[in-house]
Structure 1
Amino acid sequence: MVHKIAIVGLGKIARDQHLPSIAKNPDFELAAIVSRNAELEGVDHFTTLDDMLAARPDIETVALCTPPQVRRQYAEAAIRAGRHVLLEKPPGATVAEVEWLKNLAAKHGVTLFATWHSRYAQGVEPARAWLADKTIKSVEIVWREDVRRWHPGQDWIWEPGGMGVFDPGINALSILTHILPAPVLVTGAVLEVPENRQTPIAAKIDFVAVTGHTVTADFDWRQEGPQTWDITVKTDAGLLELSGGGSVLRIDGQTQLAADDTEYDGIYAHLAALLASGESDVDIASLQLVADACMLGAISKVEAFIE
């Protein structure tokens, strides 16, 4: 069965990732775009989601690629119209609203998929399997990138609900919560917030696992040049390193895997499986960690960020 899907929000992530992965997946047909400012040649275009839902009852699935601040209202409209919903990460602006959408989807009998694209990096599942029977001693996350490169002119990330540096940082946390055998808790954080912005440009977070080992995370949006997306895990059986956002896996310095970026291909393969089984997948563990870091975080004001 080929599933007709509509993309809501035709921004950078939709163009760079969603469109190519949909195009190469035989289980999906891109049937419509919903955007106030952008169109795609040869594809039906609507300026509002309500218009699309009314005009195209044959479109059964909606991929929401909007900023998180407005995602709940769009997801609610689609779910109430009986459509399946894919949520870009982060799945919402708050933990509670994502839980609410999960319950709403179950009530209406539709699939809700809260995606975490970094979990589909090729090194993540092998890392999870290798760590499953190991004793973890410590974990260090270093996730530093250039906001001007990845989010040019996107003011929404600096507004409440936009998450600031946690927008990329949550990718690391989505891997962390997936590969570790035991959950972790936030114990403290320092959030560096530019004096002219509402969300952090950098953050340092301390965690402790329920099994006792510590985790540290260093997120920064001010790194120019080569970007850094590394997770290092010390265990009783050696050192595991995930780099390149999870695309490269090393154990004790020996490369086990180095793969191309196929994260969104994995997302759409999993979405097809969920639709076939009638199930949902809504994991909010990493979103909860971000919320906790913001609750416990000490605010440090830093110089203004100028685009």
Structure 2
Amino acid sequence: MFDFLRATIRMSTPLFLTALGGTWTRQTGVLNISQEGAMLISSFFAVLGNYFFQSWIAGVLSGMAAGLIFNMLFALLCVFLRANIWVVGMTLNILADSLSILLMKSVFHVKGGFRDPRMVRIPDISLPYIGNFSLLILLAAILFFIFWFVDFKTVFGMRLKAAGENEEALSAAGISPVSLRFKALAINGIMVGLAGAFLSTSYLVAFVSGMSAGRGWLAVAAVIFGDGNLLWSIVGVFLFGAAQAAGIELQSFGFSSHLALMLPYILVIIALVFKNWKGVKLAKKA
């Protein structure tokens, strides 16, 4: 049971970091569906920074910078130029996949994956009764409380929600909804960058083509599940993370690997259907 809990936390961490920022963009009225691509490209640049500077800190900062730049491109196209978020998001996801392969061949002269013994893993910390965990898992827990405080207790948190719910009133108060959306997407980009750095320099110490493996989509699903509510989004994150951990566990009992890998996505469908069904039921009562 304890091993399953540890696996759930490890699987949930990249989703958790991504969903924290993704919830804020959702609150402003923008659903960022390019997070799969942002996580993948951040994973590559985290390895790149780690390899060249032989420092996990440089790797994490490189991943954060890549996530920020990627999200600013999304913001430019979807917030400033008002392009369709689905078209742009899908295009950026495909671009990130192709770009990471191109960069890997150009920089490291390999294809498929890159690993080097000189790269430095993000250090673990030891907690009583829990054991060793990546430093980024502790950081994720601290960031949750910061996000929770800002979301529920500050004027900035109220303005984020107003940007999505009543941008005309926000504009009348002299506050630009576009500026708030750019800020939310910038924060989201940094968080996705952290998630990518976790994947490639803590979960693994390598870059593998396509290593985001749908985690960005699961984070988007968690944000949709929460519908802009930070706490419900995190509930969704741990549900999907537990499903990923359970899928891996089931393989050890002889279950088909393909069926086990489908489990998180089956749970996503069930959770979203249940949430929408409950919403329709409440609407009928009202």
The normalised TM-score by structure 2 is 0.21
Higher strand share: 1
Higher helix share: 2
